[in-house]
Amino acid sequence: MQSVIFHLVLPGTIVVVTMMFLLWLVYLRTNNASFVDPGWAFGLSLLAITYAALGPGYLWRKWILAGMVTLWGVRLGTHLLLRIVGQPEEGRYQELRRQWKSHIPLKFFAFFEFQALLDVFLSIPFLLAALNPIPVMSGFEYAGIAIWLVSVCGEALADAQLSAFKRDSSSHGKVCHRGLWNYSRHPNYFFEWLVWIAWALFALASPYGWLAILCPLLMFYLLFRVTGIPATEAQSLRSKGEAYREYQQTTSAFFPWFKKSPPLTGSAQ
């Protein structure tokens, strides 16, 4: 079994590491590190396809999951790519430049390749499904498919609502309250996390499927503490100031929920 896993993970790792190296070269040419974001999404799709093509598992299971990951990854990656091309580098990466100060290209190389290795770790559910030879789909897998459908539709809707808001010239400097963004400050992150719940649930039907639970746990930590909400909100506060601070006070950070009343000025906190 260890040999089989090695012969799946090794080519998958080579594929995503190579892809991120090419995107780093694009960064050197354009001076825009934002290309790492669509690369992260496309990398997961490439890993799922690689595991499905090389894995010894049940044909329908591994290709159904690979199809789910590919549809999600291509949609998200394309959305991010279209948002980047022809636009200035995102504020998050401009802030990293200011913090790093020196050896910036080399540090971004490490950052790009770290995203590749993160993809490999997060591909655990795809790997487990590609190894599972049981020729019958389980209730866990059907439940995972159902949650995935809801998640992908929700994430696409949140992205579409924010894109429409940004295209509106009258919205410059304002905060988006449209649709799902009225109930969560980060509905796109919420539904993205729900995607990982779906894939972990799908993988529970496979041997050692409990390992897949590590992926939504890690994603939750990253979104809440590292590259997701903290960086995004810091940039929003820099660009929108008091309007975003009020949005923080009235709107749920992650899980969609009803609005809260803003605190009274000068009241005890």
Q: What is the pLDDT of residue 264?
A: 57
User: Is residue 113 located within the same domain as residue 184?
Assistant: no
Per residue in 84-136, pLDDT (tens digit) is 988 888 888 988 899 998 999 999 999 999 999 999 999 999 999 999 999 99
Q: Is residue 70 part of a domain?
A: yes
> Domain residues for 6?
1-136
User: Is residue 213 located within the same domain as residue 102?
Assistant: no
Distance from chain centroid for Cα 19:
17
22-26, long-range: CB within 8 Å, 24+ apart, which pairs? 23/112, 24/108, 24/109, 24/112, 24/113
User: Is residue 13 located within the same domain as residue 128?
Assistant: yes
- pTM of the complete model beyond 0.95: no
Per residue in 193-233, pLDDT (tens digit) is 999 999 999 999 999 999 999 999 999 999 998 888 998 89
List the one residue out of 184, 53, 69, 190 whose CA is nearest residue 123: 69
Whole-number Å distance between alpha carbons of 146 and 142:
6
Q: Angle at Cα 61 formed by Cα 58 and Cα 62, nearest 5°?
A: 85
Token pair in block for residue 96: 């990293």
User: Is residue 94 located within the same domain as residue 130?
Assistant: yes
Q: In the chain, how many domains are there? A: 2
Distance from chain centroid for Cα 230:
15
Q: Answer whether residue 266 shows pLDDT above 50.
A: no
User: Is residue 154 located within the same domain as residue 175?
Assistant: yes
Q: 93 with 180: CB under 8 angstroms? A: no
The distance in angstroms from the start CA to the end CA of the chain is 57
User: Is residue 170 located within the same domain as residue 181?
Assistant: yes
User: Is residue 158 located within the same domain as residue 240?
Assistant: yes
Average pLDDT, the chain: 93
Whole-number Å distance between alpha carbons of 141 and 200:
9
Given the structure tokens 């559910």, which residue do they identify? Answer: 125
